[in-house]
Structure 1
């Protein structure tokens, strides 16, 4: 795979399965270099495997399909160029989609009522005079924001205090009625009748965000997740609420029962309410390395019951799917995989997929389970879950494989203290010796996987052996593995990545131990910058969107009010003992610093201070700033910027660590 092949990198949504069980519908998206945007349409997938998938919609970006409970309608989100996504409904047999919403800031999620007559959705409500609500007032002409909280912005979105997310309900449209013509104005300027979408009814309000909605099976209540407690500005707690569909006050179901940071909530078919949450401790902020467990509320007013052990099971990267009367499907983050797991209200677990597959989402109809997934051969495909594993229904990455995809080699290396470090090597074709790139993931409580990864493929196609591992601090190996670097960043995580590098060079043929580079983004940018202050073996380095200066992170990052406090502590000397900025004077390695102008997670100042310190000390360095991009550039940025980023990275390596196929 080369950077120019980004168009072939597909993503597949959670499937929705027709109640009759004969077909599923998914959204298939991909970066379009021509449109310089992510585009996608809906596809219908016959479950028999005897017929080919067919294009179902033709929008610019159609996503999140969901059949109505009776299977007669299909709802989805449609985004037009440079406009936010809106809710649409179409006859499930096909036809012209009917718009349901025309929200100024779009719709982020939705759910069908059990009778299929109503749709609930979540949308941000802008303050009047902001975000284009008053014609003629552009962003620079808006009134000043008066801020009295610590949490007031979010990476990828911007300010949140003046556009809170709330729950709305609206009647499902009649997609079979004739459209109303646009009225001609009367002589007095009025119109007789009108066209447009129905006015939704708001169910929640207040200075907080609501989301993760689910209808109760009787259709009378909607469960959602929100942080409404008085200390929400200084802790990470959130709770499960319910609100009557007919309107009324929201009721907190979990706040008095524990210190939860809730991820998702979903009713099962028999009315019990499941939710996933981290226990963030007495302080409400103890999030480092905390796995997400599954809980159940058997009836309103009852205390939640813990169903899974957070030490060994992690449902952080999981949306709950109702399955059978008293069971749900969730995804266990384990050793670089996302394992589809059935859990019932008694806490009994059944694993449905293997330890190599990344299950992205699951749709259910009766006993039929359809999943989207990724593995070593695909960035996204669709399969039916059978008793003997997955039965693939699509091969959406075949065009990408035709361009060239290299399989990773899985390794476990024993570190210097006897601790096993797990990871992968993606090596170029040929005998070598190949120059080596040690790449470090973000998080830190995240993980590399063995699935098809565009970055590793692009670098390997350019002639580099890519070494990537999940050191201590990563997710998927138990809480102790993730929590050990709390206020000890740059200790065992540093030795783990170096020991894995040495082990990979020793165990995988064709790797050149004398020609090695290092790179990483976010926490990976942190550990790259920290490593080159302590180990000088590397020909060059790339520090991308890094957490580089814990002291200046506070008050500038959208997570600055808590992230550094928990990971590096609050004592000034303790913070400096883990700060790349504090030891930048030890760097000798040529270093490229990559960042985005709108990054609110690791703000641009982190890169500018680090780059300036290198420059003032005479280290060979360059600062690259991508306009308009945020912390997610490498994953969901504008496609042309993503391609340019690859070109800049490969140009840096061509100069400082040339390969046979990447040299100046």
Structure 2
């Protein structure tokens, strides 16, 4: 394969269209969704697409795809107006556009912008989210004064003391009155109106408080009552996406009480607002009730939560199981069943109870993602695809369809994995194998499109990816299985997976094994090369090398190390060092490429720096690539040109070191 052909494949990314956040109109006759592209300037841009379900005709409803970012469309209760977020005025603000045509008009001009519009039931106003405080001129010479434990966040940088508040915005043309409904010094999100419009519920993040790591509380606020908002979860926990029942007497929401700290399964809950009694309606199933499936290609929009049916007898929600994310139904009587599934990734979902239909975004390993409608009738679901976003593009590129297999771990635990054959596979040839390790660790690989995997398969590599213990999708005991034992049973699961693949697929060349992963997968890549020399080359991405320093430099280190590794710096620093790949650097002989983002605050770049210097000082084969203007999410939502550069370095390192071994 020529270098020109190889470079073309990394740049597939520029040709793809990404669709998400589908919204069904109140009467079910239209769907609007967001279409995102990479424009000629190699920047993301997006616009709204409107689909007439009766005719199948769809057209670009706003013109942002070439220049602006139009997103978060939301139908007015009468279906005549769409509210959406756009940066066309310079920063994100709320805009309105009539669904029968005409130009969009800007509704908000808030100093700190506005996002997440939610219509009042009578259509007279919107709830939006906006930061409080005033803009200040930045002075690069002015010191940053820090008093809080939580003072930085990946993707946001250093926190500026501003907090996201819930605002009430009338939609009348002549009204400029905006009312702040919250003012507490915490971030607020997920607002929702009561059916009669007299009250709202929202989520308040409390992790700014010492010891309240990742805590999110539910509050109800009665708009005509000057009293304090009422907190529902007095016993703590982490709860999101509250939804009112049709009669206004109950709420549904997603979350847990940290029974297993950060590895606790999310469940679907309801609360009776009269008695304040909580009920977990998915307690009977060992199911993660969110989308935990990883992809580097698409996005879904805000979490839909658990959406009530018309008579309030149950809710619909997304859940992750056995490498798939589907739509499930849970009755208030705890009856649970899957509604829409298959070997697919349902990554966005909007349900309209009045018509008992939904709009959904779905991906699979050979389809990036498209919009579907679902019509429910008892246990039957009628599905219709209403977009073909990448059909023509994907016909031009060779793709590999993964094969699922299971294998038994060293202690008898069943592990699920997938093997992608190289594009153009021939029975009489042998091929190198790349082991891909996911991050989290409490996420999962599965039946979703992965550009990185397809790229490697197109370059002649077999690709193996598995869900070792610690992954989501296999129950509470499984997801909890790696905590306190990083590099133990999870490492054995991965190595046993490689052995199982070698035994099952005779075409894999055992002398040409490669490994890569990001975040937790980067930690595990570092760990693997410190424990075995069986891999010819490795690429570690946004990794962890030293848990002792991670404790103090990561935006989550001060609680994540205790939750996951089983200790913190004060309690047992030796345990942190025992699980640190840097401890075993003398044993690393595998050529190791280190990819890291300059602005990564989740796994800060000093983690890569320590490993690089230790390796280079020992004259080991290594190289360090630092990506500017990028955070922990470079591979998924980073600048398009840098995403392409990352893939070039990844594949180039493997190509080079396989060439050296031949």
Q: After TM superposition, is the score higher than 0.5?
A: yes
Report the alpha carbon displacement of residue 486 of structure 1 after superposing the two structures with TM: 0.9
Rounded Cα–Cα distance in structure 2 between residues aligned with 1:368 and 1:52: 19
SS at structure 2 position matched to 1:400: helix
Q: Which residue of the partner structure matches residue 419 of structure 1?
A: 413
Asked if 2 retains the 8 angstrom alpha-carbon contact of 1:5 and 1:400, the reply is no
Q: Which residue of the partner structure matches residue 182 of structure 1?
A: none
Asked if 2 retains the 8 angstrom alpha-carbon contact of 1:292 and 1:316, the reply is yes
Rounded Cα–Cα distance in structure 1 between residues aligned with 2:365 and 2:341: 13
Rounded Cα–Cα distance in structure 2 between residues aligned with 1:242 and 1:139: 40
Rounded Cα–Cα distance in structure 2 between residues aligned with 1:262 and 1:440: 29
Rounded Cα–Cα distance in structure 2 between residues aligned with 1:359 and 1:56: 24
Q: Which residue of the partner structure matches residue 589 of structure 2?
A: 588
Q: Which residue of the partner structure matches residue 140 of structure 2?
A: 140
1:58-457 equivalences under 5 Å are 58-59=63-64, 60-80=68-88, 83-126=90-133, 128=134, 133-134=135-136, 137-140=137-140, 144-174=143-173, 198-228=176-206, 231=209, 233-246=211-224, 248-256=226-234, 258-271=235-248, 272-281=250-259, 286-309=260-283, 312-317=286-291, 318-320=303-305, 321-326=307-312, 327-365=314-352, 366-386=355-375, 387-388=380-381, 390-402=383-395, 403-428=397-422, 429-431=424-426, 432-457=429-454
Summarize deviations over 1:170-219 as a string: whole Å, max 9, x none. Answer: 01144xx9xxxxxxxxxxxxxxxxxxx83421111122111011111111
Deviates more, 1:476-485 or 1:305-314: 305-314
Q: Which residue of the partner structure matches residue 504 of structure 1?
A: 501
SS at structure 2 position matched to 1:297: strand
Summarize deviations over 1:14-49 as a string: whole Å, max 9, x none. Answer: 2211122111100011334x223221111112324x
Deviates more, 1:19-28 or 1:391-400: 391-400
Q: Which residue of the partner structure matches residue 187 of structure 1?
A: none
* Structure 1 segments unaligned to the other structure (5+ residues): 178-196
Summarize deviations over 1:132-176 as a string: whole Å, max 9, x none. Answer: x24xx33415x54432221122110123351211110101144xx
Q: Which runs of 4+ in 1 moved over 6 A?
A: none
- The answer on 1:52 being equivalent to 2:57 is yes
* Structure 2 segments unaligned to the other structure (5+ residues): 1-7, 292-302
Shift of the 479–355 alpha-carbon distance from structure 1 to 2, 3 Å rule, reads: farther
Asked if 2 retains the 8 angstrom alpha-carbon contact of 1:359 and 1:372, the reply is yes
CA RMSD of aligned residues (A): 2.2
Summarize deviations over 1:103-138 as a string: whole Å, max 9, x none. Answer: 344333221111111100112224x4xxxx24xx33
Shift of the 31–470 alpha-carbon distance from structure 1 to 2, 3 Å rule, reads: farther
Q: Which residue of the partner structure matches residue 194 of structure 1?
A: none
Asked if 1 retains the 8 angstrom alpha-carbon contact of 2:186 and 2:208, the reply is no
Deviates more, 1:453-462 or 1:300-309: 300-309
Asked if 1 retains the 8 angstrom alpha-carbon contact of 2:533 and 2:589, the reply is yes
Report the alpha carbon displacement of residue 87 of structure 1 after superposing the two structures with TM: 1.2
Summarize deviations over 1:396-444 as a string: whole Å, max 9, x none. Answer: 1213312222211111122232221112112212213111110100000
Rounded Cα–Cα distance in structure 2 between residues aligned with 1:262 and 1:558: 21
Asked if 2 retains the 8 angstrom alpha-carbon contact of 1:89 and 1:173, the reply is no
Rounded Cα–Cα distance in structure 2 between residues aligned with 1:374 and 1:107: 30
Report the alpha carbon displacement of residue 586 of structure 1 after superposing the two structures with TM: 1.2
Rounded Cα–Cα distance in structure 1 between residues aligned with 2:464 and 2:634: 22
- The answer on 1:35 being equivalent to 2:41 is yes
Rounded Cα–Cα distance in structure 2 between residues aligned with 1:555 and 1:615: 25
Asked if 2 retains the 8 angstrom alpha-carbon contact of 1:410 and 1:423, the reply is yes
TM-score w.r.t. the length of structure 1 is 0.90
Asked if 2 retains the 8 angstrom alpha-carbon contact of 1:629 and 1:637, the reply is yes
Deviates more, 1:583-592 or 1:92-101: 92-101
Q: Which residue of the partner structure matches residue 634 of structure 2?
A: 633
Aligned residues: 624
Summarize deviations over 1:280-331 as a string: whole Å, max 9, x none. Answer: 14xxxx4232110111112245122111128611123353134323132211
Report the alpha carbon displacement of residue 573 of structure 1 after superposing the two structures with TM: 2.0
Q: Which residue of the partner structure matches residue 186 of structure 1?
A: none
Report the alpha carbon displacement of residue 93 of structure 1 after superposing the two structures with TM: 1.7
Report the alpha carbon displacement of residue 7 of structure 1 after superposing the two structures with TM: 2.4
Rounded Cα–Cα distance in structure 2 between residues aligned with 1:95 and 1:405: 42
SS at structure 2 position matched to 1:530: helix
Report the alpha carbon displacement of residue 388 of structure 1 after superposing the two structures with TM: 4.6
Asked if 1 retains the 8 angstrom alpha-carbon contact of 2:368 and 2:390, the reply is yes
Report the alpha carbon displacement of residue 268 of structure 1 after superposing the two structures with TM: 2.4
Rounded Cα–Cα distance in structure 2 between residues aligned with 1:405 and 1:371: 24
Summarize deviations over 1:331-374 as a string: whole Å, max 9, x none. Answer: 11111211101223332223111241211222233212221111
Deviates more, 1:481-490 or 1:97-106: 97-106
Rounded Cα–Cα distance in structure 1 between residues aligned with 2:434 and 2:264: 30
Summarize deviations over 1:216-256 as a string: whole Å, max 9, x none. Answer: 11111111111359955543322100123357455333332
Asked if 2 retains the 8 angstrom alpha-carbon contact of 1:149 and 1:233, the reply is no
Rounded Cα–Cα distance in structure 2 between residues aligned with 1:377 and 1:364: 26
TM-score w.r.t. the length of structure 2 is 0.90
Deviates more, 1:565-574 or 1:601-610: 565-574
Rounded Cα–Cα distance in structure 2 between residues aligned with 1:505 and 1:232: 49
Rounded Cα–Cα distance in structure 1 between residues aligned with 2:517 and 2:339: 33
Shift of the 337–153 alpha-carbon distance from structure 1 to 2, 3 Å rule, reads: same
Shift of the 85–482 alpha-carbon distance from structure 1 to 2, 3 Å rule, reads: same
1:511-590 equivalences under 5 Å are 511-568=508-565, 569-570=567-568, 571-590=572-591
Asked if 2 retains the 8 angstrom alpha-carbon contact of 1:548 and 1:581, the reply is yes
Rounded Cα–Cα distance in structure 2 between residues aligned with 1:637 and 1:421: 31
Shift of the 21–416 alpha-carbon distance from structure 1 to 2, 3 Å rule, reads: same
Report the alpha carbon displacement of residue 384 of structure 1 after superposing the two structures with TM: 1.7
Report the alpha carbon displacement of residue 274 of structure 1 after superposing the two structures with TM: 0.7
Asked if 2 retains the 8 angstrom alpha-carbon contact of 1:383 and 1:390, the reply is yes
Deviates more, 1:267-276 or 1:594-603: 267-276
- The answer on 1:483 being equivalent to 2:480 is yes
Rounded Cα–Cα distance in structure 2 between residues aligned with 1:310 and 1:621: 50
Asked if 2 retains the 8 angstrom alpha-carbon contact of 1:424 and 1:450, the reply is no
SS at structure 2 position matched to 1:561: helix
SS at structure 2 position matched to 1:57: coil
